[in-house]
Structure 1
Amino acid sequence: MNGFEKRASQIKHKIIQTTLQMLSSSGSSKIRIADLAKAANVSQVTIYNYFGSKEILIREAFIDYVDRAILEFEQYMDENHSLKEKIEHIILLEKSSYKELPPGLIKELLAADEELSRYIELQYKEKTIPLTVRILEEGKRSGEISEGVSIESVLAFIQLYMNQYETILQMAEQSEDMDKYLEGMVHMFFYGICGKP
């Protein structure tokens, strides 16, 4: 990469990061290119030259966010963590991501952009699910997952948590101690309400 390409990449990255910051605080409908340009310290023309439109910029910013999240997820899963730590990571991953991009905003973005929605679905099917299955299969082989529990049922249980995570997070925020509340949810995932500590 020559100096010009490196500078162009840095500018694009800055615009994308600024867009993500503004999305998390304002939502997509309130974002204006003029405000983005000012916050990123670039001209509006520069934004249009790199992205073409506000919609494409928002799509690319969200794709960048998802790609980084998947990469971090893959790296964590490849590290030397116990199965319990890995599953806990999967469940609690939503906690930090929802702070960065609220669930309502994600739904709004996916509903407004069919191409973005297809991309996210593809990443989920081709990367997230296979990696999760691999981790669960390793847990079955090592005896960390009970013989009486199938991989499909663990995946379904994780999906139940994910489908209700927005509600779980709202309840956690209303509790006296959010982290303790979420730790309790993870405990119930592994052990039920009467299981071992």
Structure 2
Amino acid sequence: MNGFERRKQNKIQQIYNSSFELFSKYGFQRVSVNEIAQNAKVSPATIYNYFGTKEQLYADMLMNWMDKQLEQYEKILDSEYPFSEKTKEIIILEAKNLKVLSDNFQKSPFSEVGGLMQMIEEYNEQKVMQFFIKFVALGKQEGYIRRDLTEDVIMMYLTMYKNELGRYWETTDQGRIMRSMDQLMELFFYGLVGEKQK
């Protein structure tokens, strides 16, 4: 990457950071491109040159944020930790991310930003599913996930668990959840009965 391209990428990242901060604090409607530009220390023209519209900036900023979260999950999955520890870290991060989204983007302009829901669905189909397939393969390889379970059933189970933990995370003392996390992970892997009897 040459100097020009690096400066451009740095500016774009500044714009993403500023727009995330302002949109999450004040909502889509109450933030102007001028305010984002001022906060990012760039000109409004720069934002329009890179993104075209405020709606496109919002969509791109959200995709950028999702990419960063997925990168964290990938790093955890590629780490040397046991699979159970990796799963615990990923589920905790996902619960925190669900809270960030619900706290900061409840009034997001899904109807105002054309195609945003479709972009998120495509993102999930392409990037999240690739990660999920890699996660399941590793879990099966290490003996933490039964080989006879289909990806659809595993995905449903993970989604239910993650969503409920995220909802609980929003309404409960997070320190209490963290103290219970080891027990919650045992339940996640072995259920109420405990490890399957041979």
Superposed CA deviations along residues 92-132 of structure 1, whole A, max 9, x for unmatched, are 22233245433671673445434332222222222322332
The structure-2 alpha-carbon separation of the partners of 1:164 and 1:31, relative to structure 1 and needing over 3 Å to count, comes to farther
What is the alpha-carbon distance in structure 1 between the residues aligned to residue 167 and residue 177 of structure 2? 13
Is the 2:28–2:109 contact (alpha carbons within 8 Å) kept by the matching residues of 1? Answer: yes
Change in Cα spacing, 1:150 to 1:172, as seen in structure 2 (3 Å) is: farther
State percent identity of aligned pairs. 26
Distance 1:135 1:186 in 2: 16
State how 1:108-147 maps to structure 2 within 5 Å: 108-146=108-146
Residue 186 (1) aligns with residue 175 (2) = no
* Higher percent of residues as helix: 1
Gaps of 5+ in 2: none
Q: In 1, are the aligned partners of 2:140 and 2:146 still within 8 Å (CA)?
A: yes
Show the counterpart of 1:156: 156
> How far 1:83 sits from its partner (Å)?
2.0
Answer whether contact 2:83 2:142 (CA < 8 A) is retained: no
Q: Distance in 1 between matches of 2:184 and 2:104?
A: 22
| Alpha-carbon distance in 2 for matches of 1:58, 1:131 | 24
TM-score (norm: length of structure 1):
0.79
CA gap of 1:73–1:110, structure 2 versus 1, over 3 A, is farther
CA contact (8 A) 1:59 1:116 kept: yes
* TM-score, structure 2 normalization: 0.79
| Contact 2:96-2:166 at 8 Å conserved across structures | no
* Unpaired segments ≥5 residues, structure 1: none
Tell me the distance in 1 between the aligned counterparts of 2:18 and 2:156.
36
Provide the aligned length of Structure 1 versus Structure 2: 195
Q: In 1, distance between residues paired with 2:186 and 2:170?
A: 18
| Equivalent runs, 1:1-197 vs 2, <5 Å | 1-102=1-102, 105=105, 108-146=108-146, 150-173=150-173, 177-193=176-192, 195=194
Verify the 8 A CA contact 2:95 2:162 in the aligned structure 1: no
Question: How far apart, CA to CA, are the structure 2 residues paired with 1:125 and 1:160?
Answer: 18
| C-alpha distance in structure 1 between counterparts of 2:14 and 2:81, whole Å | 33
CA distance in 2, matches of 1:8, 1:146: 47
Cα 1:123/1:171, change in 2 over 3 Å: same
Is contact 1:27–1:105 with CA below 8 Å preserved after alignment?
Answer: yes
Q: Quick check: 9-18 or 68-77, which moved more? A: 68-77
Q: CA deviation at 1:74?
A: 2.2
